[in-house]
Chains A and B, each alone.
Chain A
Amino acid sequence: MREGLASATTRVVNATSRRLGRGQGTVAGGRAGLRLDPRLLEHLSAGRQVALVSGTNGKTTTTRLLTVALGAAGDAVVSNETGSNMPPGHVAALVGTKARRVVLETDEVYLPRVLASTAAATVLLLNLSRDQLDRTNEVRMIAGSWRAALAAAPHTHVVANADDPLVAWGAGAARDVHWVGAGLRWQHDAVGCPSCEGRIAFSGGGWSCASCSFARPDPEATLVVGPGDTARAEWADGRSAPVRLALPGRFNQANALMAAVAAEASGVDALAALAVMETVQEVAGRFTVRSFGDVRARLMLAKNPAGWDELLDLVAGADAPLVVSINARIADGADPSWLWDVPYERLAGRAVVATGDRFRDLSVRLHYGGVRHTAEPDPVRAVTLAAAAITAATDGDSGAVVDVIGNYTAFHDLLGVPA
C-alpha cells in the first residue's frame, strides 16, 4: 500500500517537474517517493537482476555500454540514463517500468547503501581517485566502505579493476571477484597501501606493497593497447577480440572491457557484448558536437585530475585554441584547488580561453603554468572567441570545430544551451 502510494507520488512529481521545465525530472519525484517509503528502492528492486556501476570516472559511459550489451541479448533493460546516480535517481528510473534487468550508475559514496537496498547481482568497480573532496573527504575511506559492504554481500558478483590498488582493496573481501586489467593512468592516490600504510610500487604493469602481501590480483581479462588508437581484450582462458568503439580514448576502451566482463557475469557472452558496444555513438552529450549560432564545438567532460590527465592526452597534437570551462557548484565540489593537480603545462604553446564561474581560478593556474590564455566569463562567448581565432588562423575557413572541456556543471551548462 505504502509502496504503491510512494511509486505513484514519484511518477506524478517527476512528470510535474518535467512539465515545469525544472530539469529532467529524476530527482524531485524520487525524493518525494523515498520520503513516503524509505524502503522504496528495495521494493522496486525486488525480483529484478540489478547491476551497479561505480567509481570516480567513467560511470555514465560504462553504465550505457553495459545497458546496450545486456539489451542486445534480448531482455528489456532499464537504467538511470540521465546520470542521477543517488537513490532518488534510482527510484525514478525504476518506478515506471517492469524491465527485469537493471543497470544503475551509482555514486561511489552511496554504493554501500544502494547495494544493501538492491541486493545487486553484479557490482562493477572502475577506479578511485580524488574528486569533490569537500563532499567525499578521502578516497581511502570510500575504498574501506566498499570493502565492508561487499564482504557483507556474498551473493554479489564483483567486476573490479585489478590495476587500481584502491579498487582492489574495496573489492578484495568480496566472495566472487572477476578481476580486469583495465589500466590506471592516474596513480597519485594509490601510493599509500590501504592495507598497511606501506608504500605501493608500480612496475611493469603490476603493483605490490613493499611492506605487506597486498599486490595486484591476476586478471581474467586484460586490455592490451596496440598501435595508434587500437586495443585488444585478452582473456586468461585464451579468448581475444579487438575493442572497437565509436567513443574516443583509451579510458573508454577500458570501460568497454569492464562492461563486457560484467555482461558475462550477468549471463551474456563477453565477446558479443564487446561487439555491440561499437554502436554507441554518444553518451549523455560527451564528445557531442553542438552548434552555437554558426560556430560548432565538441563538448568534453573532465571533472577531476584523473579525468583531465586522460583528456589532455586525447586533445594533444592539435594547436587550435581550446576552451576550458570551470565551475565550483555543489555537483562540482566547492573547492577548485584540484586545478593545481592537473598537468595544464601540457597545453603550453596552445591558446586557451578560460571561462566558467571560476575562470579566475583557472586563469591563475594557467598563469603559473606558463599557458597563454584569455579570460572570458561567458562560456558561449568563449566558444565564439576561440572559433574566431581559428577562422583568422586558417584564412577564413569557418568549418573548424572548437574543442571545449568543462567540469561537471560547466559541461552541462553548454550542453543545455538551446541550439
Chain B
Amino acid sequence: MTAPLRIAVVYPDLLGTYGDGGNGLVLARRAEWRGLDATLLQAVSDRPLPDADLYCLGGGEDGPQVRAARTLIDDGTLARRVAEGAVVLSVCAGFQIAGRSFPGATGDPHEGVGLLDVDTVKPTGPRAVGEVLVDVDPEVLGTVPTLTGFENHGGATSRAEGVAALGQVVAGVGNGVGDGSEGAVHGRIVGTYLHGPVLARNPALADRLLSWALGDVALAPLDDAEPESLREERLATVGGKRRRRRRT
C-alpha cells in the first residue's frame, strides 16, 4: 500500500475565476478510475499550503493574482516541493505567477514565484480572447496530440533561453511575443494560457502529468469517449474556421 497521490488546487479563492479548478478534479478522477488512491485538496489562501505531489494553479483577476503570488512566496511550500520533485500545472494568471515577474492591474511589475524562467508584461495589442489550438513540442512532452483550449489574457510572456515552449499555436495567440509559442515547460513544471479547463479538453496532457507525479509509470488507457468527442469537435470547429479565414 503506497501513500495516496496528493493533488492540490492552489488558492481556489484567489485563482478560481476561469473554471481551472476542474484540472484538479480531472487528475483525481483519472487516478481513481485506474484504481489509484488519490486525494484532491482545495488549498485556500488563508492556510499554509499543504505538501502535495501535483499542484494546479488557475486563472484569476489582477488584484487576487498579486495576492496569490505574494502569499505563495511567503509560504515557501510550493518552491520547496518543486525542488523535491513535485509536478506543477499553472494556467493563465497561475502561469504568470509561476514565472519570474508579471504585471499588476496598472502594469507595474510584481515578483513571481520563479519556478519558470519566464517574464510577463502587458501586451501592446488587445487582450487575447478566443479558442486556441496548440501543436505540442514532442521533444518536451513526448507524443501529445494537438491541444485545444480557450485563452483570455492580457499578457505577453517571454521565455529565457533554454526554457521550452509547451508548443506552437495553430490558432489563437498564446504567449503573445510574436514567435507563435504557447506556454512554457521546465522539468516537471508546465505553464499555459489554455482554459477549458485544459486537462478536461486534453486527456493526454492530464495523463502525462499524472504519469510524472507517479514516477513515470505507464498508465492503463481509460474510456475517453466524452473528452475525445469534445476534442474532435473543437479541432474541427476551430481548425475549420482558421482554414476558412486563411482562404479569404
Contacts and interface: CB of A to CB of B under 8 A. Distances in A.
Contact of A337 (B129, B150, B229): B150
Contact of A338 (B19, B129, B227): B19
Contact of A130 (B17, B20, B64, B129): B17
Contacts of B67: 192, 197, 199
Interface string A336-371: 011111000000000000000000110111011100
B64 A197 contact: yes
Interface string B119-138: 00000000101110000000
Contacts of A340: 19-22, 25, 197, 200
A197 B63 contact: yes
B63 A192 contact: yes
Given A337-B150, A340-B22, A138 B230 contact: no
A291 interface: no
B21 A361 contact: no
Given A340-B200, A368-B26, A192 B14 contact: yes
Contacts of A338: 18-19
A191 B18 CA distance: 15
A194 B63 CA distance: 8
A188 B62 CA distance: 15
B46 interface: yes
Would you call the interface of chain A mostly helix, strand, loop, or mixed?
helix
B234 to A, nearest CB: 8
Contacts of B131: 334
A335 B45 contact: no
B230 A361 contact: yes
B66 A197 contact: yes
Contacts of A176: none
B230 A360 contact: yes
A279 interface: no
Interface in A302-352: 334-335, 337-341
Contacts of A337: 18-20, 22, 150, 195-197
B61 A192 contact: yes
B152 A192 contact: no
Nearest to A361: B230
Nearest to A200: B13
Contacts of B22: 337, 340, 365, 368
A134 B152 contact: yes
B127 A137 contact: yes
B139 interface: no
B16 interface: yes
Nearest to B63: A197
A164 B27 CA distance: 33
Contact of A368 (B16, B25, B46, B127): B25
Given A192-B63, A197-B64, A334 B21 contact: no
B208 interface: no
Interface residues of A, number: 29
Interface in A129-183: 130, 133-134, 137-140
Contacts of A194: 63
Nearest to A360: B230
Contacts of A42: none
Given A337-B150, A337-B196, A365-B200, A133 B64 contact: no
A399 B131 CA distance: 43
B74 interface: no
B29 interface: yes
Contacts of A334: 129-131, 150
Contacts, number: 91
B75 interface: no
B179 interface: no
Contacts of A264: none
Contacts of B197: 337, 340
A37 interface: no
Interface in A361-383: 361, 363-365, 367-369
Interface string B62-90: 11101100000000000000000000000
Q: Which of A133, A189, A334 has the most CB of B within 10 A?
A: A133
A134 B45 CA distance: 26
B19 A134 contact: no
Given A133-B18, A134-B152, A364 B230 contact: yes
B216 interface: no
Contacts of B201: 364
A56 to B, nearest CB: 13
Contacts of B18: 133, 335, 337-338
A24 B230 CA distance: 34
Nearest to A354: B226
Contact of A140 (B29, B63, B196, B227): B63
A168 to B, nearest CB: 16
Contact of A335 (B12, B21, B195, B227): B195
B226 A199 contact: no
A151 B192 CA distance: 39
A192 B64 contact: yes
Most buried by B among A137, A367, A368: A368
A199 B45 contact: yes
Most chain B CB within a 10 A radius of its CB, from A140, A194, A197, A334:
A197
A365 B230 CA distance: 11
Nearest to A345: B25
Contact of A133 (B17, B25, B229): B17
22 contacts: A133-B18, A133-B152, A134-B129, A134-B150, A138-B62, A140-B61, A188-B13, A188-B16, A191-B14, A191-B45, A192-B13, A199-B67, A334-B131, A337-B18, A337-B19, A337-B195, A340-B200, A363-B230, A364-B200, A365-B200, A368-B26, A368-B29
Given A130-B17, A334-B150, A340-B22, 10 more contacts: A133-B152, A137-B152, A188-B13, A189-B17, A192-B67, A197-B67, A341-B16, A361-B230, A363-B230, A368-B26
Closest CB pairs A-B (n = 6) = A340-B22, A337-B19, A340-B19, A360-B230, A192-B64, A335-B150
